[in-house]
Structure formats: C-alpha cells, structure tokens
Structure 1
Amino acid sequence: MTEPTGPLKGLRVVDLTRVLAGPTCTQMLGDLGADVIKIERPEAGDDTRAFAPPYVPKTKESAYFVGVNRNKKSLTVDIAQAEGQAIVHRLLENADILVENFKVGALAKYGLGWNELKEKYPKLIYCSITGFGQTGPYAPRPGYDALIQAMGGVMSLTGEPKGEPQKVGIPVADLFAGLYGTIGILAALRHREATGQGQQIDIGMLDTHVAWLANQGMNYLATSENPPRLGNQHPNIVPYQVFPTEDGYMVLSIGNDPTFERFCKNFALEHLLADERYATNAARVGNRALVTETLTAVTRTKPTKVWIEALEALKIGCGPINTLKEVFADPHVVARDMVVRMPHASGEEVTVIANPVKLSATPPDYRLAAPVLGQHTDDVLAGLGYDAEAIAALRKGGIV
C-alpha cells in the first residue's frame, strides 16, 4: 500500500455508510487522501456486497461494491453491542470526520448520534446523509434512489411525451447526495480551520434532487407551469436533441443562433434563415415539431460517422450515442485515464472507473482497492491499542 498523496492526507474518516450515497462521499474523501475506516457488520458487511451478479472477474466481490469503496479499510464491528460502540469511540478520539447514512435517530440508540457526540468531540465534522434530511414531516422515511427521482420531479421530466415517466438509467439521486455531502464536508473543514469547531452536515436526498432540477426547476418557478416531458429534446433550446441518421442516431446540440445559421449554410438549408419560424431560438422553441421534422429529413440522408466528421469540422456540437463498450474504448476517455487497474486482496487486479477530479499538484490516488470484508480489522484494532488476546476475545464474542 502506498502512502496517500492527496490534499486531504492526514484526515481521518469514520465511515458508517453503506450502499451508494454515503460510500460515494467517503470514496471521494479517500481518493483525495483521507484515511477512511469503513465500519461494516460482521459476516454480512455492506449491503452492496450482495448486489450481484455481476462479480468482478476471478473474485467473489460484487462489481457494485468494488466500484464505490476503494481507498477504504474494512473494519467489522457490531455497533449494537457496547464493546463495539467502545471501538467506534476509540476511532473518534482521533477522527476528523464521521459520515453516516442511517435512518434519522438510528445511531442515537447506540450513543453514536450527533447529539451524543458533539460535546465529547467538539472538532468532529459529522455528515448525515438520509433520504429526507433530519427535519420535516418525511424525515423518518427511508430513502431510495427511484423513490427520490419520483418525488423530486425528475421522473416527471424524463421520458417520451406520450409515454410513462422514466427514471434516469443510473442512480443519480444517490450520487448527487454523496457529492453534495463531500462539498459540505470540505466547507466544514474550512470552518473548523478558522474556528476550531466541528458541525453536523444534514444532507437529504430529496433536497439535493430539488437543487439539481436546475433550469427545469427555474422554468417552473418562472411560469408556475409544469414543464412537459420532451423525450430527448431540450426545454429551452432547439435543435438540441437526438436525431436519426442513415444508420442510427446522433445528438445535435445547436446552442445559439449563429451556430444554427452556420449549420443551415453548410447543409443546403439557407432558405430556413429567411423563415421567421426558424430565424431565432425562441421561434424554433415555439415551432419545435416543425423544426424537428424539417431537420430529421436531412439528418436521415447520411450515416452517423459522416455527420459527426462534418459537424465537428464546423465546430457544431454533436456526438454519437455510445454504448458503454464504446465509451470505455473512446480515445478521449482513454487519454483522460478514466479507467484504472488496482491490485486486490484476492490476488487479482480489479478494473475501476477513475476519479474525474484532475488536480495539478495533488491528484487523486489509488492506494487500496475495495477491501474484502473485515480485511483490515486486526490492523485497525492493533492501531487502537488492542493486543492479539483482546482482538481474539472480540472476535469470539462476535463483536468484530
């Protein structure tokens, strides 16, 4: 194992998270150099260890778990028992950050809630990630990605106009909550640096989902009208959508009037510029169906590759609709080192998606592949002062 080199080197994180939102947050902290101790249930571990198949080739580890738990040490502890809680307290004596995604109030019964810890560890930064936050009428409810996508409005915006509402194909509600949690932690670290005081960060998945409604949320606030589902079209820009080609599909992204003019002049559509229904973006939004029909007749005349080459030469936004196989083979993705291989405790190497944050002086590092369950229990306990006899007794008692 190499020593951390990232900007958070030296920070200690107690990770009481599982599944995706919390682990996304703590993996980001680990990638940036923090020492992350992931506390897991003895024998069972993080739920996502069982989210399989698929497994990482030649291992017994789920691809789901491996993808979001690198740069962490796995310590198995039964926090429902007093001896287990004592282990967590030993960790907290020198910890900077605790991240948890238990239901509201669940950790309090183990003496590990924010209210139970804040006076004993006044410098502790305590990040809670839940479905609905620590307050409000929904606070006690469990949160799940698809549920949050539904309640947060995104499903009402996604899908074909006459089809059923659709969720996004990846768990964006979990991922955004984890990333907002990271941002909150970094802000709290800055505050602690200035004041010496820790604080609780309250991340609700529904809150973060509402926050990233972005332009569509603002469209509603400006008009008091629910934006309709538009399939692959943009609510405020036309043409900015999927178009059929001779052999498939492509995305055409024409973001302003000068670009539309350039498109028309180069593809025998200059006559459209004299038609007020096409002349401005506002007019094109108002005549969305007409513009789509007109351009579809044109885009169907050439294969995708020919269109992409021609449009790129004109600096007009465009792109193929890649499968994941094509994504990971894309020369730009390869050049940006978005896939890394890491040695794993199984003796095999695991292939994972890299951290996208590019820092010139202190880039993310890849010290530890996702751990096997309890991989670091003995080492962590020894570092806390437990001798071999004490560790054996803890193991015999089912505490670790």
Structure 2
Amino acid sequence: MSVLKGCRVLDLGIITAGAATSAILADLGAEVIKIESPTYRDPFRLWPSGESKADDMPPLFRATNRNKLAISIDLKQPAGREVMLRLVASSDVVVENFRRGVLPKLGLSFEALRAANDRIILASVSSQGETGPDASHVSYGSTLEAVAGFAWGTGYQDDAPVISGRDVNYPDQVAAIFATSMITTALRSVQKGGPAVHLDLSQRDLTSFLIGETFVAASMGKEIRRGGNAQEPFLLQDCFKAADGIWVAASVRETDLQALSTLLGRNIEQDDAALRDALAAHIAAQESEPAARTLQQIGLAAAPVQDGAGILKLEDESWSHAIQCFDGKRVKGFPFQIDEQPLSIERPAPGIGADTATILSEIAGYSDDEIASLAKAGVIELGSA
C-alpha cells in the first residue's frame, strides 16, 4: 500500500489509542518507527492474552504494531532526547498518547519538536485533551466511557451503566480512526506549505460528540433512560435464544405486524403484551439460521448474533478485510479497504529495538562508533530482529 509512501512517522504511542493510530498509518504505506525505552515498554507487550506461551508478542501487540520498525531510546537522558530530535528533523509526524505533561518534561514539547522541524505534525491522542481540569488525570476505557456519558446511555432500564470493556474499548478504537484522518488532513496542509501542526484529540470529547444528540435531547427536558436493546420507534427490539443456543436479534416495526401475525398464526395488535413471548417461542423452536431467515423473508430485520467462530466462518461471504491471516496467524485487519491499492500486512510487529542500529545509521546519520557508544551508555538498546 503506497498512499502514504514517503511519509515518516515517529510512534510514541502505547496500548491502543496511540499505537493503533500509527498502525493504520503504517497500513497506508507510511514508514512508522515505534519508539520504546530500555526502561519502559509498550504495556501491550505484556498484556494478558489467554495464550499459554509467555512472550512479548501477544495478539493485541501484534495487531497494533504490525508493519512498523522499532527503536529503543531512553528519552529521559539528554543524549536520548538529542537522538529523538535528530529523528524528528527528518520525519513528518510524531504520534503520542502519554499522560499530559510527559512530553514537555522530557524536553519534547511541541515547541521543541517544531524547533527541530518547522513542518512537523504532533498528534496528541489523550483521554481528556490538552487543557481543562481533568487533562492530567489517569484514564482507561472504563472511566472515559463514564465521564463522556457513554456508559450513561448503555445497559438496561433501572439497572447499572455498562462499559464496553477491554475487548471493545470503544473510546480508544474510534479515536485511532479519527486521529488517522486528522493526521492525513494535516499532512495535506503541510505539504502545501502550511506550518507545523499540533493536533489535540480528546477521546472524551470524541466519545461525547458521537452520542451528542442524546445530550441535546436531555438539555431540552427529555428524560433519557437506558433501554437495553429496546429502541424507539421499534415496537419490539431484542435478542432471543434459538434452539441451537445461538441468539437472534430482531427488530419489529408497526408495519411488520400483519406479516408477523401471519407467520406466528395469531393476530397481533400494536400494544399486544404477548408479542415478546410469541416471538421468543417462535425463535426458540428453530435453529438460529432458519429462525432468522423466516423473519427476514417477511421483511423483518433479523440476524444471528455471531461469536468469534461464527464471524470467521463468514470470511469472503459477509466480510473480506476485517481480519487477515499473516505469518500463519489470524490478526486484526483493516477498518476500510482501497481497491486500487489494497492495504496489506508486510511485516510482523517488531521485537524491542529490533531496528535501532539501522535507523540511527541510515536516518539519523550516526556512525557505528557513535551507536556503540550510545548503547554502552544505556541511551539506546540494540535489539534483535
């Protein structure tokens, strides 16, 4: 994939929000250099994955760091800061999602980066944004969904709010896609002669924006209550278990009542309290696929609720690029595809500092002796491929 060919990205991102942003840029053809420290790794290297073998390449790390090179620099040392700035001088983008204040403490504020490269783009993906009373707070997906109002809108009526959890991590996932769009837009501006850009992407603001209509309704006096799977204007919307143990999602509109009455063999009124029981019994008497099919045939929106195994069986039938096979393993794929220049995974996630020597020599212009000296002083780490 070559849409971003020639673009160099310095990736200080960790876990999902930052690292996944630069992963999409890498998928689009950018040269992405993942930067870790001899004293601090991307936590995803050690994230519990359920796999029996303990290594630094669990599935979550592989997914968010494929197609990248890797260097290890101790940015807390003045010499490490100098190495970083020499890389900045010949790069286009720096991506980071550290806690606010970390970069300035390292001497790597936007002003410092801009002094090294007056066309640099700094993409700061943070939980609460660059400013405001909560900017320095530690946040995870759970707390972000709470403060952004997302958890307030999920769950069942009169029950506790529900967070999406690590396996969904909604604020981080959507932030990566939006941040990528912002970066590519900024690249266009800089390439046309514009100045350096500092992009401030608050996951809290973004999450609130995506459900903003709900807050607007609440501000106008409308009571907003969690409804679980129920949703206006559907008369009934929920999931029902079929005979094979698989759930089927179904949505019933007022205009579906006549056809549904015929299918179920009973007259159903709009306010029929037994509608749920009748539909549940109909689905429970069949396996999920035929149950969903009979409802689809009369015009209802209905579908089996797929688990991981079910999704994989639908490859090349219902989806083609969401999941990929690389190096003999299933890995997370792409959120979109470009037919003329398809995205692809060209290289696996790198080991710690796997490309340190090559990057310092070919990009930053250090000699072999200088590289050896930096390694001896603990400023850099020379890993193995």
- The letter for the 1-side match of 2:371 is I
- The letter for the 2-side match of 1:336 is S
SS class of match (2:138):
coil
Q: CA RMSD in A?
A: 2.5
Change in Cα spacing, 1:335 to 1:110, as seen in structure 2 (3 Å) is closer
2:284 match:
300
**Deviation string for 1:351-383 (max 9, x for gaps)?**
311113111112212112111111111111111
1:206 to 181, 204, 215: 204
1:70 to 66, 87, 92: 66
TM-fit CA distance, 1:247? 4.2
1:129 to 102, 125, 133: 125
**Deviation string for 1:246-265 (max 9, x for gaps)?**
443210134x5445554444
2:42 to 24, 40, 46: 46
SS class of match (2:65):
coil
Counterparts of 1:172-211 in structure 2 under 5 Å?
Answer: 172-211=170-209
- The letter for the 2-side match of 1:308 is A
SS class of match (2:340):
coil
Q: Does structure 1 conserve the Cα–Cα contact (< 8 Å) formed by 2:296 and 2:302?
A: yes
Q: Does structure 2 conserve the Cα–Cα contact (< 8 Å) formed by 1:158 and 1:230?
A: yes
TM-score by length of 1: 0.85
- 1:238 aligned onto 2:273: no
1:325 match:
309
Q: Does structure 1 conserve the Cα–Cα contact (< 8 Å) formed by 2:46 and 2:55?
A: no
Measure the CA separation in 1 of the matches of 2:365 and 2:340. Answer: 35
2:330 to 337, 348, 351: 351
Measure the CA separation in 2 of the matches of 1:223 and 1:295. Answer: 34
**Deviation string for 1:192-249 (max 9, x for gaps)?**
2344223111011111110122554454345442x22222222543333212334432
Q: Mean alpha-carbon deviation: is it higher for 21-30 or for 172-181?
A: 172-181
Measure the CA separation in 1 of the matches of 2:15 and 2:191. Answer: 31
Change in Cα spacing, 1:311 to 1:204, as seen in structure 2 (3 Å) is same
- The letter for the 2-side match of 1:310 is T
- 1:393 aligned onto 2:373: yes
1:147 to 128, 143, 148: 143
Q: Give 5+ residue unaligned stretches, structure 1.
A: 279-288, 344-348
Change in Cα spacing, 1:240 to 1:199, as seen in structure 2 (3 Å) is same
1:284 match:
none
- The letter for the 2-side match of 1:395 is A
Change in Cα spacing, 1:369 to 1:334, as seen in structure 2 (3 Å) is farther
Measure the CA separation in 2 of the matches of 1:91 and 1:25. Answer: 19
Q: Does structure 2 conserve the Cα–Cα contact (< 8 Å) formed by 1:54 and 1:63?
A: no
SS class of match (1:302):
coil
- 1:83 aligned onto 2:79: yes
Aligned length: 376
2:383 match:
none
Q: Does structure 1 conserve the Cα–Cα contact (< 8 Å) formed by 2:241 and 2:284?
A: yes
Q: Give 5+ residue unaligned stretches, structure 2.
A: 381-385
2:324 match:
340
Percent identity between matched residues is 25
